[in-house]
Amino acid sequence: MKRFVIPSLAVLAIAGFALSHSAMAVYSDTGSIPANQGAAIDSLTERGLVQGYDDGTYRPTQNVNRAEFLKVLMTASGKASIGDVIDGWCFTDFKGAEQWYWQYACAAKSAGVIDGYDDGTFRGNKYINIAEAMKISANAFEIPLPMYFRAPDHWYDQYMDAAAGKNVFDGVRREPASLMTRAEMAFVIMKLTGEPQPQCDGHMLGESYKMDCNTCTCTENGSACTKMACIEDKKCFSSNDCSASQRCSTEWGDCQSACPPGAEICPAVCAGTCQER
């Protein structure tokens, strides 16, 4: 019986699916896909869950097979290291030289994420369709399945409906028999792991902070800042620091005229700073 240890972080250098720690993903072929899929690809690349190819492409419309999808899914769900030692020949088609995806498949079987086919095979090189992907995704992330008053028409209805509840079909075709693409895979994983909150220079949504002497708040559209003068640049901190005809601008820290622009009658305090009419 073949046995092996599953690493806590999968670091297999498999083209297009090796873990990466790049700060920002820039792919030459993702400009023509929906923006939400592109954002998912960038997010997952930054988080180390997917990676592009050596030629700088991601190949978003390329179909993904069962082994590839399962690897990313198991890593993202934190189940890639179920148990320390796993039976490495857990499916009948796991014969001969050990393949990179056996550990993920066996960990997934042990965790109840997959069962394999009726003949005991896994068929890792077979392209995965959307219905299959939704089923194992629901299992991996332990998503509650909807209940029906009568038996559903298809085995996959519960999994498709559960995915719909997570807004997965905002970026994935709701076509059970269609083969899943790499772009759709990224979108599924992003939705199920949670979309990253907007960040502004390392600050989280709703957080207030100082930046370049400005008072800022992190919003969904980025940093919203109120311009303030730096302390070292302030010429005044209160009107007591200015002449009698001036006031201290708390926004800029400058002594400014206290005379309203265009005043017809100049107040006594403005004497000498504006022209009477």
Note the pLDDT tens digit of each residue in 84-119: 445 668 999 999 998 999 999 999 999 999 999 999
Note the pLDDT tens digit of each residue in 150-163: 999 999 999 999 99
The residue-averaged pLDDT of 141-148 equals 95
Averaging pLDDT over each range in 75-79, 180-184, 235-239, which range is the top one? Answer: 180-184
Residue 188 reports pLDDT greater than 50:
yes
Range name among 62-66, 173-177, 201-205 with the lowest pLDDT average:
201-205
**pTM for this entry:** 0.64
Averaging pLDDT over each range in 27-36, 75-84, 152-161, which range is the top one? Answer: 152-161
Residue 126 reports pLDDT greater than 90:
yes
Q: Output the pLDDT for position 263.
A: 47
As a whole number of angstroms, the distance between CA 42 and CA 23 comes to: 10
What's the token pair of residue 105? 């498949």
Q: Output the pLDDT for position 175.
A: 98
| Cα separations in angstroms, 132 against 124, 169, 171, 202 | 13, 15, 17, 38
Pick from 50, 26, 47: which is nearest to 196 by CA? 47
Q: Output the pLDDT for position 217.
A: 74
Q: Output the pLDDT for position 7.
A: 45
Q: Are 67 and 128 contacting, i.e. CB atoms less than 8 angstroms apart? A: no
| Cα separations in angstroms, 276 against 51, 125, 256, 267, 269 | 71, 88, 18, 9, 13
Percent of the chain past pLDDT 70, that is, above it, reads: 63
Higher pLDDT, 49 or 21: 49
